[in-house]
Amino acid sequence: MENEKQGNSVITIAETHQQITANKDGNFCFAGIESGEYSLYATNEEGFISPTIKILVNEDISGVKIDILGNVLETVELRGQGKHSDIRAEHSIKTEVVDLSKHVRSSVSVEQMMNRSAGVKIRNSGGLGAEADVIVGGFNGKSIKFLVDGIPVDYLGSSMGLTKIPSSAADYIEVYKGVMPTEVGIDALGGAVNIVSKAPNKNYHRISYEVGSFNTHKLTFNNFYRVSDHISYGINTFANYSDNDFKVDNLPLVNPETGRTENIRAKLFNNAYKQYSADAYVNFEKYSWADLLKIKLNSYAIKRGIQNDFSSRSRPFGEVHRKEHAYVVPSVEYKKSLFNKKLDVSQFFVFSSIKNQLSDQLKNAKYDWLGNKYEAQSGSEMGSVTPYDRKVVETRINNFTYRGLFAYKFNQQHRLIFNAVNTYLRRSSDDLNKPTGKTHVDYNRFIAGLGYQFNLLDNRLEGLTQTKYLASFAQGKEFNKIDQKLEKPTNNTGMSFSQSLKYNFYNGLMIRTSFENTYRLPDQNEIFGDNTFIMPNLSLKPEKSTNVNLGLRYKKSSKYSLELNTYYRNTKDLIRLKDITQFTSVFLNLDKVRGYGVELEGSYSPLERLELSGNLTYNEFRFQGSNDNISENEHFKNARVSNMPFYFGNAMMTYYLDDFIKKEDHFQLYWSYSYVHQYYLDFIEKQYEPDGFLGLYGNSKINTNRVIPIQQVHSAGFTWTLPLEKDRKVSLSMELDNIFNENIFNNFKMQSPGRNFSTKITFDF
């Protein structure tokens, strides 16, 4: 009978191939569904198939009706448990998603969350706020680009670093491996990190305070208020402070009685970090002239002590520090759908003026590693870096960035995307070669991408074909201390092409592949240096790489999943920082590198409230020669890339409890383990590498202490959330990191903090 409820039909989610049978009343429920858009169809007992319907799961529950030839399945519930990870996992472009919203009440730092992702490793040797080297897919350093909401992060300076932002500063983080989406207007060589801001749709207020080891304090406040259907506003602020005075081994100290140098263990004493950051915005939405107009102001300030030079701790600094601030950073974002929602237009403008100061005010004195001050002959702690008795070296960078994004949807299966990003930088710096002089340089970087996205075979086949044009133009001149001459910059251009494909089989198996030939333009810091430690090199050329990715994923249900990803890279003219003296260095087009990598990740829920997950990464990247005649050595050809971890992994266990102490409370207990295999700081000839399988067993056949040993770190913690009246709740979180106080070393064998503890309290009101 028409419009009669029909039971015992099988309902299928096309994207995940999950199936469930409706009860006799035609009701059914899918649980554990990630938020996003899904295609559902039903098959009744006679074999008739309903039309496919689209379901958008954006909160907890979505109800729909499915009609099979006039017979109705009355109620459908899809209960979601996440927002982003499964949506991105379905794309043809390999993307790791770190969902910060799940950990916003936890003591786990963003850096720790990133480090637990497959194929990602962050090397931080200075504690909170330190500059960190990020490894993604075998690439590191400047080859990995950072963005905020798809926009290059240059306009916010160093304030949005992964060692600095709290989990409440963003909604989630995307880590792209290989091909970038057209919407991401960046020239990354093989990876990018995109920090995605929150886009709340209902009122909320949250404040948190965290205290931890080394006199660490973190304060955050987040607020969103909807005035009407058309107007809303928000405020997000955070402040960080830490002494970062953890203990470090093997610090050289001259014994005044014997005159001999001894190695001691002591606290860092000039390593403190202080930061505040705030943004305020107003949204105008759902007008005839705009779907969204967002006007936003950012502001931040940073002060950091510099304990030693960037690659060693052979000599301490006691009164050297660096400041950075941009007090007012205005931006405007505009979005509008046109032509019956076929054309989506997004425009973004931002201007910032960032001031950097390097202060070295100590004269004719020095410090030892015990923090004692002595008379010395040198003019300053850093020697000749700041000549002419300059106690402070200032640099100001004015940044103007524009992003225009246009996407035209022909139908549900075909879409054309055009994206253009232009970044203009003007840097004014104190001239270190003239007592009162200034230098001025201009740098413009333009990237345009055109992409065609298609979905065929009932959305089982997805692909993206795209091309990008890259160009950089520079004006000005810099004095090159290496060749003792003035240099004029050169312009760079490049074209890249990429293709990505994904195919979903009916049995829960997905295959994904991509190819690209890509370029990365030198950034302004690589070309012009930092006016203190890094010298200019205006003749730098773009890095070039050919990349191939291939991956398989099996996910039959939300109970377990397994994914294998492989990648091949052939890279030339890699830009590397080369030491010139103990205190100065320069970026050069040096290395040629070729090799492959493998990532394996999986998750399993043996019990309803227990989640187990883990990943392993192995990178086999080999040195193929150098453009530097001094380091060119055939003996090192095919040697493993130096100072780079090549085998590492993580394991994670999480257990959830409801009604733990009080009714309707939530308790989460977690444990994590990370492993990094030993690696060498220098090139080791391939014939002298360990003989074991993939070089994972045994020792090098040459005697060297230039090795970073095996590192194993255990961490554990909990988060307890207690609901109060109405929408109010309070959360308490605690974590003990590096439980067994293992010695942890990172870039250049710089030692990182040992065992440390943190606790955090969060109020939602």
Between 41 and 77, the more confident residue is: 41
Q: Per-residue confidence at 75, pLDDT binned at 50, 70, 90?
A: very low
The pTM of the full predicted model, rounded to 2 decimals, is: 0.86
Please state, as a whole number, how many other Cβ atoms lie within 10 Å of the Cβ of residue 715. Answer: 21
Express as a percent the part of the chain with pLDDT over 70. Answer: 86
- How high does pLDDT run on average in the chain? 86
- φ, ψ for residue 23, nearest 5 deg: -80, -175
Q: How do 534-535 and 585-607 pair as beta strands?
A: parallel
Give the whole-angstrom CA distance, residue 146 versus residue 197. Answer: 14
Between 290 and 695, the more confident residue is: 290
The H or E element spanning position 433 is none
Q: What is the pLDDT of residue 79?
A: 38
The closest alpha carbon to 337, from 328, 324, 329, 346, belongs to 346
Give the whole-angstrom CA distance, residue 78 versus residue 50. Answer: 18
Between 499 and 378, the more confident residue is: 499
Give the whole-angstrom CA distance, residue 163 versus residue 388. Answer: 35
Beta bridge partners of 578: 586
Please state, as a whole number, how many other Cβ atoms lie within 10 Å of the Cβ of residue 293. Answer: 17
How far, CA to CA in Å, does 479 sit from each of 13, 353, 385, 482?
63, 24, 14, 9
- Is 610 in a helix, a strand, or coil? strand
Give the whole-angstrom CA distance, residue 611 versus residue 32. Answer: 13
Q: What is the mean pLDDT of residues 501-512?
A: 89
Which DSSP string corresponds to 11-56? Answer: EEETTT--EEE--TTS-EEEEEEESEEEEEEEE-TT--BPPPEEEE
- First-to-last C-alpha distance (Å) of the chain: 51
Between 487 and 262, the more confident residue is: 262
The answer to whether 85 and 643 are in contact (CB under 8 A) is no
Q: What is the pLDDT of residues 407-427, one digit of tens each?
A: 999 998 999 999 999 999 999
Q: Is the dihedral of CA 625, 629, 631, 632 positive or negative?
A: positive
**Whether pLDDT at 474 is above 90:** no
Q: Which residues does 608 contact at the CB level (< 8 Å), separation at least 6?
A: none
Q: What is the pLDDT of residues 542-566, one digit of tens each?
A: 999 999 999 999 987 768 899 999 9
The answer to whether 598 and 549 are in contact (CB under 8 A) is no
Q: Per-residue confidence at 48, pLDDT binned at 50, 70, 90?
A: low
How far, CA to CA in Å, does 669 sit from each of 272, 313, 732?
31, 38, 12
Q: What is the pLDDT of residues 351-366, one digit of tens each?
A: 999 999 999 888 888 8
Q: What is the mean pLDDT of residues 123-132?
A: 90
* 3-class secondary structure per residue, 620-635: EEEEEEECCCCCCCHH
Q: What is the mean pLDDT of residues 235-242?
A: 97
Give the whole-angstrom CA distance, residue 469 versus residue 165. Answer: 32
Token pair 């004095």: residue? 479
Please state, as a whole number, how many other Cβ atoms lie within 10 Å of the Cβ of residue 10. Answer: 15
How far, CA to CA in Å, does 252 sit from each of 261, 383, 701?
6, 19, 29
Q: Which residues does 258 contact at the CB level (< 8 Å), separation at least 6?
A: none
Give the whole-angstrom CA distance, residue 172 versus residue 36. Answer: 15
The phi-psi region of residue 507 (left if phi > 0; otherwise alpha if psi is between -120 and 50; otherwise beta) is alpha
Q: What is the pLDDT of residue 90?
A: 64
- Domains contained in the chain, CATH given: 10-82 (no CATH), 204-764 (2.40.170.20)
Chain center to CA of 163? 10
- Tokens linked to 314: 């052979």
Q: Per-residue confidence at 69, pLDDT binned at 50, 70, 90?
A: very low
The closest alpha carbon to 320, from 308, 338, 335, belongs to 308
Q: Which residues does 428 contact at the CB level (< 8 Å), separation at least 6?
A: 395, 396, 438, 439, 440
- Tokens linked to 148: 């905020």
**Which DSSP symbol is given to 487?**
E
Please state, as a whole number, how many other Cβ atoms lie within 10 Å of the Cβ of residue 91. Answer: 15
Q: What is the pLDDT of residue 70?
A: 46
Token pair 């009860």: residue? 23
Give the whole-angstrom CA distance, residue 51 versus residue 30. Answer: 19
How far, CA to CA in Å, does 344 sit from each of 53, 287, 579?
23, 15, 48
- Tokens linked to 538: 């205006």
Give the whole-angstrom CA distance, residue 253 versus residue 752. Answer: 20
